[in-house]
Amino acid sequence: MRTIISNDFNICSQWVSAGTLLFFVSACQNNKSVTLEQSASPNIILILSDDQGYNDLGVYGARDIKTPNLDRLAEEGVRFTDFHVTCPISTPSRCSMLTGRYPQRNGTFELFRNDRVDEGYQYTPFEYTTSPERILGTDLQEVLFPELLQNAGYVNGVFGKWDMGQLNRYLPLQRGFDVFYGFVNTGIDYYTHERYGVPSMYRNNEPTVEDKGIYSTYLFEREALRFIRGNRDKRFFLYLPFNAPHGSSSLDPGIKGTVQAPPEYLARYPAPTSGEERKRRGYMAATSCMDDAIGNILSLVDSLGLRENTLVIFFSDNGGGIGSDNSPLSGGKATMWEGGLRVPCIIRWPERINKGQVINNFISSLEIFPTILAAAGIEKPDSLILDGFNMLPLLTGEKNLERNEMYWELRGDYAARIGDLKWIKSRRANGLFDLSQDIGEKTDLSDNETKSVPLMIEKLHSWQEEMNNAEPRGPFKNF
């Protein structure tokens, strides 16, 4: 069991009031989904970056990239060093976080994406209306935690990358949100807001081109600030899934394969002398722009007197892509290496969590759903099967919790982790690694640990059987 490195931890301190404890007793007796008293339940801000590398925050070791606001957030809260997502690509990872379930259980274990754009093909309007990218979406039987928050009286807003389906029945206002402004697929041109030529921005349930030409991060920041100001006297949940610093989804040969960023942010970094430096510069500039947007949002929270009882969670949806730095990890986005699965994560809640902590425990994005429910004082429906646990006792110092195992599957690639041992079988890599000694997965221990590999395979097969036998969910599962 690894330890928690922290500042002074008051393990005996209570994280709920006496009234809150009485509420919990009542909630358990009634077995209903209800809220805490208004004074106890926090505002919640959940921020996702897109394809951000493990080493691309100053507080995680970056020397060439400027992220002062996220660095300060880590100083004021908790930074995780061993936080994993459930899939190394965006749609399954984000859906898994919102449902609290493995992608193989919730039925969204692949992208909702048209592959022909890889060939530079421009879809006609009719072709697009019947394409997988347009018609696929997360199964409507899945329960998203924003729905439970909304039922408990929270006002919910989402601004940014939705990525859960484009048809009206899949859009945020039908999945627990009160307001939505953002794009509905996996990536866009940061200025035209088109995905390979297809307009993709929505306001609530309607397509819009009202802000075409404005850098997307500025727009999501603007909407988030409006939402906070408009709901300052209510309990709110703000979901802010940025597309930064994801590569630009554009057919323009001068843009495709790069990360777009505003000139004022590009000017913060040296002019590139190669194609790779150009990608890195755009990526860093887009990250710094996002960091400033986050800083402005948190400053507004502070100025409105909401800081102490606002739970802020930040992490990347998967490992780094174009222009990123995943060191000291191997691999990146779409791989089973740690560089595809281990991501930066920061959590702050001044009223409940001591600042300045660095937590090395094995934790995952599956824990986000039950943790948010616990923070808001909402009972999980008995019929809902979740794959994560409430990590609030870890954050508050009551219990030294961590995962013992986790499993991954994508496009015929597999990985399993039990304790510190991780086994990979994929097209890019195979082997057994001890992450406590070899975070970069350089030394294959398969020949030495002859009993461990069969155990890992057996456990993976048991997990696959459980996922296959779970209640059927679309769009990809065969039932």
- pLDDT at position 14 is 31
All structural domains of the chain with their residue ranges: 4-404, 409-468
- pLDDT at position 396 is 97
- pLDDT at position 382 is 95
User: CATH for 4-404?
Assistant: 3.40.720.10
pTM of the model: 0.91
Structure confidence by residue, pLDDT tens digits, 401-423: 999 999 999 999 999 999 999 99
- pLDDT at position 257 is 94
The stretches in the chain having pLDDT less than 50 are 1-39
* Three-class secondary structure assignment of the chain: CCCEECCCCCCCCCCCCHHHHHHHHHHHHHCCCCCCCCCCCCEEEEEEECCCCCCCCHHHCCCCCCCHHHHHHHHCCEEECCEECCCCCHHHHHHHHHHCCCHHHHCCCCCCCCHHHHHCCCCCHHHHHCCHHHHCECCCCCCCHHHHHHHCCCEEEEEEECCCECCHHHCHHHCCCCEEEEECCCCCCCCCCEECCEECEEECCEECCCCCCCCHHHHHHHHHHHHHHHCCCCCEEEEEECCCCCCCCCCCCCCCCCCCCCHHHHCCCCCCCCHHHHHHHHHHHHHHHHHHHHHHHHHHHHHCCCCCCEEEEEEECCCCCCCCCCCCCCCCCCCCCHHHHECCEEEECCCCCCCCEEECCCEEHHHHHHHHHHHHCCCCCCCCCCCCCCCHHHHHCCCCCCCCEEEEEECCEEEEEECCEEEEECCCCEEEEECCCCCCCCCCCCCCCCCHHHHHHHHHHHHHHHHHCCCCCCCCCCC
- What's the CATH fold of domain 409-468? Arylsulfatase, C-terminal domain (3.30.1120)
